[in-house]
Structures are given as structure tokens and as C-alpha cells.
Amino acid sequence: MIITKRTLPRRTFLRGVGTTLALPLLDAMVPALTALADTAADPARLRRLGFVYIPMGCDVTRWTPPSDSLDELSPSLAPLAPVKQQVTVISNLELKNAYPGTHATSNASFLSAATAKRTESTDYYLGTTVDQIAARHIGRDTQLPSLEMSMDLLSVVGQCDNGYACVYQNNLSWSSPTTPLPAEAHPRIVFEALFGEGGNASARRAALKRRASLLDSLSEEIKRLERTLGPDDRNTIHQYLDSIREVERRIQKSEADTAENPLPDLDRPVGVPAAYADHARLMFELQVLALQGDITRVITFQLARETSNRTYPEIGVPDPHHPLTHHGNNPEKIAKVAKINRFHVSLFAEFLERLQSTPEGSGSLLDHSLYLYGSGMGNPNVHDHTNLPILVAGGAAGNLQGGRHIKFDAPTPLANLHLTLLNKVGVQRDAFADSQGPLDELFLPIDA
């Protein structure tokens, strides 16, 4: 039998006026005779790696699952119930190189497992972070090798914490020991970086104002493409474009709400939702689009900075976060810290459900992604860096053995987990920072 079906390249783009839009994985991109193959078995589909950082540790008593399984979730992790079979909680991981125990080193060491040079000046020195090692290998063929995101719009400069430069708290990602990568908190700017024509922030904002929608200039290209696709692919395209349109609508609504607000608000740029949860959900939705369109395969996201004084009145915590963590074993303060922990987990759980409901190949976007969620601090009351709150989520093409709680008998380097994740997405290394070896128990054997 002769097969004449032509396929679309995986790196297919729609191009409009000043706009380039990557497409999600379509059946038409799968070679003839393999369109029905299980793409979850394709190693390329494993190459998505994300990291979500929460500041100032946790209340470990309400975080730690009560058994080796996730049949019963702890109070802080209860929002993960719908996706718990694709989640593994890991206890007793540590960051030795984060001592002497500061907020700055908690953030800086989380992805580097390196010791931050103590300095208040620009001669800072850390280490290349795990996400950037991954990006050099799995991000070479994407529009953005990596995407750095945060929730805090103000990056403090100077000295922030016991003689450590603020750069250590501002940045999770470092492409070299001397090169921190700033994170973007403004959803409009992230959206433009993903779907706009580039240029600096001012140019991108001005370009976006000249057109009502990103998709308007692509309408003819979209129609032309749809005529070449089958029903399933057309449905995938429609869902993807609807998601983009919804993100646009939410950003524009946030801009309108802010513009119509008669009260001065000099600290919050136009286009950022006033409510923390709305802002976080929008940033998570942008990650879904970036992964679905294969615009990037490596993402870091800081849900809040260390020493954050953000309040959370929407969950009954009007007190600033940082002072609460220095609770002095006050039960009321500890309970409020746990509420914040649960709130952050709930936002991440919503994101995982969104990935799980986004079809890709024979599975979902979650099946083909790995995310590490956690903090570089354990007990914030004493600034320690052991028994960190850590979990791994995703499908890893069926090899992540989820629904479990792994608890090590002795403190184990977080770098072991970083090494494991690198190897799992195809970046083979013998060691990372102070690692002692990969965590083989995290994944099922390939032939299982």
C-alpha cells in the first residue's frame, strides 16, 4: 500500500500582521500510519518541565499526608483530590546549601541547590538552575527556551535579607552563576511575549492597542488551515483559539476595570487583576497556552516572594504572610499559615485539572508534563531547609507513579529530585549540585 498523506510539521505557525501563533499538537502532524499511535509513548512528548515556588515553607503538621498513599489527603493538600493519582508528595528533602538559613537563600537554592554568595552588591554568585539546564536541551527548538513568571510586580533592589542582595529573592532562574533571569508578573506582557511580534515592553503594548485581538489578524489563515484538517483537528484548533480569546477577554476586562476605578493605584499596572486568585489563575492559564502551543517547554513560576507581606482576606487571613510565619508556636498564627498553604495548593490544583482536561494525542497535556511544586524553606519559624514541602505532578507518559507519599528516613538532597527530573525529560546527567543519585522510586519502570 502506498501512503500519500502529507503531514504538518510540529513547528507549524499561523502568521498574521505582526503576529505569529504556534499550534497545538494535531493528528495532521503525526506521520501517516501512525496517526492513531499512542503519542504518550513518544519521548518528545515528555519534554515539558515546570516549577512552582511557594515562599516561607509550611505548617508541616497540616501539610504531610498521614500515610504512604494519598487515599487520605492532609488538610493543606486536600484540594489535590481530583488529580491525586498524578501527584506524588515527597517528605524529608533538604537544601544543605541554603544555610545559614535565610529567605534569600531559600529562594536562590530552590532550583540551583547551590550556595549563594553573601553580598549586598552586584558581585552576586549562585549557580545555574535546573530549569535552565533543561532549557538548553529541550528548549532549543521552541519559540521561548524558557518562560519565567511571578506574581509580584515590584522587584526590590539593594540588600533584602541579612546581607544578601535582593536579586536572590527576586529570581528563581539563573542561566549562569552570575546571570539571574527576571520573571514577569504582568499578564499582558507575558501574553505579548507568547503571541505578539516581540520588541520591548513598550513596543509590544503599543502594538497590542493597535489591534482589537491577536486572532483578528489571523482569521484568514485560520480558515485556510481548517479546510485542510479533519474534524478532530478542527475541534482542537477551535478549543485552543477559544482559550486564547478567553485570556484576551480577561486581560482586557482587567484593564477596563482598573481604568474605571476612580481611586489612584500607582503600584498596580493596568491589566493586572486586582484579586490575587484571579491574577494567579490568569498566569496559570497562560502557562497552559504556552505548553499547548509548544511555545516553551520549561516554565518557572513564583507564587509569591520570600518575605512577602501579602494579605489574603479572601480566605479569612487579613494578616501579612511573613509575620505570620514567625509564629512562635502560636496556634492561631500557625492555622493562618496553613490556610495560606492550602489556598496556594488550591490554585495549583485548578491548574493541574486544566492540564488534565486539555486533550493531547491519546492523553492529556498533564499526561505529557512534569511539574515540581514546593518551597526552599521547611519550618519558617526557625528558617530551616529540611523536610521541605515538595510534590511532583504530571503523567510523564504514564511512568510517574502517582497517588503516593514518599518519606525518606534520613534527610535527602532536593538535588536528587532535580537530577531525576532532568533525566526523565531526556537530559541525561550523572549529577546535579550536591545530588547523591536519582530518585528511581518516583517512576515506574519504562516497561511496566
Note whether 173 and 88 are same-domain residues. yes
Note whether 53 and 142 are same-domain residues. yes
Does the pTM surpass 0.85? The reply is: no
Rounded CA-CA distance 340/56 in Å is 11
Residues 6+ apart with CB under 8 A from 127: 112, 113, 114, 115, 174, 177, 433
- The mean per-residue pLDDT over the stretch 340-348 comes to 98
**What is the total count of domains within the chain?**
2
- Residue 381 sits in a domain whose CATH number is 3.40.720.10
Confidence of residue 38 (pLDDT cuts 50, 70, 90): very low
pLDDT at position 97, please?
A: 97
Note whether 154 and 23 are same-domain residues. no
Helices and strands of the chain, counted as H and E runs = 12, 15
Task: Specify the amino acid at residue 283.
Answer: M
What is the SS3 assignment for 392? strand
Note whether 37 and 52 are same-domain residues. no
Rounded CA-CA distance 420/46 in Å is 13
- The mean per-residue pLDDT over the stretch 252-281 comes to 64
Note whether 30 and 141 are same-domain residues. no
- Whether the per-residue pLDDT at 14 is higher than 70: the answer is no
pLDDT digit string (tens) for 392-439? 999 866 588 899 999 999 999 999 999 999 999 989 999 999 999 999
The residue out of 271, 298, 332 marking a domain boundary is 271
Asked whether residue 4 is domain-assigned, the answer is no
Note whether 279 and 425 are same-domain residues. yes
Q: In whole angstroms, how large is the CA radius of gyration of the chain?
A: 22
Note whether 263 and 324 are same-domain residues. no
Confidence of residue 33 (pLDDT cuts 50, 70, 90): very low
User: Mean pLDDT in the chain?
Assistant: 84
* Cell numbers at 315, concatenated: 480566605
Note whether 66 and 195 are same-domain residues. no
Note whether 424 and 366 are same-domain residues. yes
Note whether 282 and 234 are same-domain residues. no
What is the SS3 assignment for 369? coil
Note whether 125 and 223 are same-domain residues. no
- CA 352-429-348 angle, 5° bins: 15
- Whether the per-residue pLDDT at 43 is higher than 70: the answer is no
Phi, psi values for residue 147, rounded to 5°: -130, 125
pLDDT digit string (tens) for 359-380? 887 789 999 999 999 999 999 9
Note whether 15 and 68 are same-domain residues. no
Task: Specify the amino acid at residue 226.
Answer: E
The residue out of 218, 247, 271 marking a domain boundary is 271
* Cell numbers at 37, concatenated: 499511535
Confidence of residue 157 (pLDDT cuts 50, 70, 90): low
Where in the sequence is the domain holding 156, given as residue range(s)?
Answer: 42-185+272-442
Confidence of residue 228 (pLDDT cuts 50, 70, 90): confident
The residue out of 208, 240, 271 marking a domain boundary is 271
